[in-house]
Structure 1
C-alpha cells in the first residue's frame, strides 16, 4: 500500500499495570505487531522494514504477533516469514493466527510451519512460559475457528496467577470476562481505518445511521451485515480498554485496505509492564 493511503508508521508506547506482577518482571518490555496482510501490495516493503527496525531498536524482552499475516492465499507467508526472522528479542517471538490465516483449510498448517521454521512460536489453544511460570502467555485459536474454546485453556491456570493473552479478534474479550486476563493483545480491526478526530472510528457512526433504517430493509443491506461480521464491539477498535476486570489492547495493524487510512496510522506498539 502506498504511504499516501496508509500514512506514516506510528510507534505507540504505553505502560500497563499488572496486579501481583512478580518484582523480577517489573519493567518487562513487549513489542506487538499485527495484521500484516502481506499480499497484493497491502503492506509496503519499506513499512515492513521500518516496523522491524523500530521493534529491534526497542530491545524488547518479547515480541508478539497477533495474526493476519496474509490476505487469502498462504503462499506469501514464506517471504514474510524470512523477513520476520530479523526480529530480535530476549525471550523470543510468539504469535497467534487470525481469520485470514485460516481462509483455506490448508492455510493454518502452511502458515504455522513457515513461522516456526524461522523460529517464531505459534500458539493455538496453548500456554507458553517465555517469561517464567509466574506470568504465562496464553494463545487462543482464532475466534472464527471451530477450535476456539477458551474454557479448555483458561481453566488450566490458577485464578491467582497473572497472565497475558493473545487473541486476534478483540470481540473475544467479552467472552473472556469469565476469567482473569491481565492483558489481552488483539488486532483485527485496523483501528477502523478511518477515524474522526475526537470522536473515534467513523464506522461507529455509519452503523448508527444504518440501524435507524427499518429492520425489514436493513436485513437486505449487505453493508450492515458485513460490519457486524468483522466486529461487534467497534468501540474497542484501537488502544487500551477496560473490559470487566480485564485489560484489552487493540493494535491498529500494519496492512491497509482500500480506500486507505485517515487519522489511523499503521502501528508498532511498545508495552512496558509494571506491578501495582
Structure 2
C-alpha cells in the first residue's frame, strides 16, 4: 500500500510540476491569432489586441511587433491596460512607436491605465497613438470605411455615426453605456480570458461578473468578441493564451 501511495504521490507531483511549468513558462509566450471575417466589401483590415500589461520590453514584445507587421493591418486598435506595476514608460513608448510605424494605432483607456493616465497620454502622444476617450473616427479602406467608436472607461457615449460601427471598449459590459446604431461587432478585453481557465468551472464562478469571459457571443442584441489579451497580471496563463484578433471588413 505504501508503495502504491508513493507512486500516486509521485505522479501527482509530476503533474503539478508540469502544469506549473506550462502555465508559468510556456503558455504565456504562445501568441495565437483569431481571424474574424466580417465582410469583403471595404478592403480594410484591423488588428485588435488588449491588456499588454508591460513591465519592460523583452523578446515577447518584439515578437508581438514582428507578428503585427506580418499580419499587414491597415489599422491597429489597442483595448487598454498598457501597464502594470513598475512599468518602464520608455520601453512602453518604444513598443507603441514600433507599432505606429506599421499602421495607424488607436487606443482606449483601461482600468490600469486610469491610475497613470498622465503618463499614458504622454506615451501615446510621443509614439503617435491616438487615444479615444469617447470618440468616433473613420477608418478608410480600399473600397469603403467603418466608424471606429472608442468608448470611455466608465461613461456613456452616443456616437454621431449612423452605420458601419466597430465598437471598442476595455470592459465587455461597457456596451450597455453605448448609444447608436447596432455595431458590426463590439471588441473588448479586461478578462484575460480567465487567465487560468478551467472549462465550465471558470465560466460558472465568473458568470455573475463576466457573462462572457472570452471569445464570441452576445450582449443583448450586440455581437461581441472578448479577447484573451496578450499580457497578464502575473506571468501565468492556462487555456487562455495571448491573442491577436484580425478583423477583415
| Structure 1 residues 202-241: aligned runs within 5 Å | 202-207=201-206, 232=209, 234-241=210-217
1:167 paired residue number:
169
CA distance in 2, matches of 1:52, 1:235: 31
Q: Highest Rg: 1 or 2?
A: 2
Say which structure, 1 or 2, has more relative contact order (CA 8 Å, 6+ apart).
1
Structure 1 pair 128–259 and aligned structure 2 pair: CA distance change class (3 A): closer
CA distance in 2, matches of 1:90, 1:269: 16
| Structure 1 residues 7-26: aligned runs within 5 Å | 7-17=29-39, 23=41, 25=42
Correspondence 1:157 to 2:161: yes
| Structure 1 residues 1-276: aligned runs within 5 Å | 3-4=25-26, 6-17=28-39, 23=41, 25=42, 27-39=43-55, 45-72=58-85, 76-87=88-99, 92-103=104-115, 107-131=116-140, 134-143=145-154, 148-150=155-157, 153-154=158-159, 156-158=160-162, 161-176=163-178, 179-197=181-199, 199=200, 202-207=201-206, 232=209, 234-258=210-234, 260-273=236-249
CA distance in 1, matches of 2:75, 2:203: 33
Structure 1 pair 83–72 and aligned structure 2 pair: CA distance change class (3 A): same
More helix by share: 2
2:11 paired residue number:
none
Q: Secondary structure at the match of 1:261?
A: coil
TM-score normalised by L of structure 2: 0.79
Q: Is the 8 A contact 1:60 1:88 kept in 2?
A: no
Give ranges in structure 1 of 5+ residues lacking alignment: 209-227
Report how far residue 117 of structure 1 moved. 1.1
Report how far residue 72 of structure 1 moved. 4.7
Q: Is the 8 A contact 1:63 1:89 kept in 2?
A: no
TM-score normalised by L of structure 1: 0.72
Q: Is the 8 A contact 2:152 2:169 kept in 1?
A: yes
1:102-121 per-residue CA deviation (whole Å, 9 max, x = no partner) reads 12xxx212201211211111
Structure 1 pair 62–142 and aligned structure 2 pair: CA distance change class (3 A): same
Structure 1 pair 48–242 and aligned structure 2 pair: CA distance change class (3 A): same
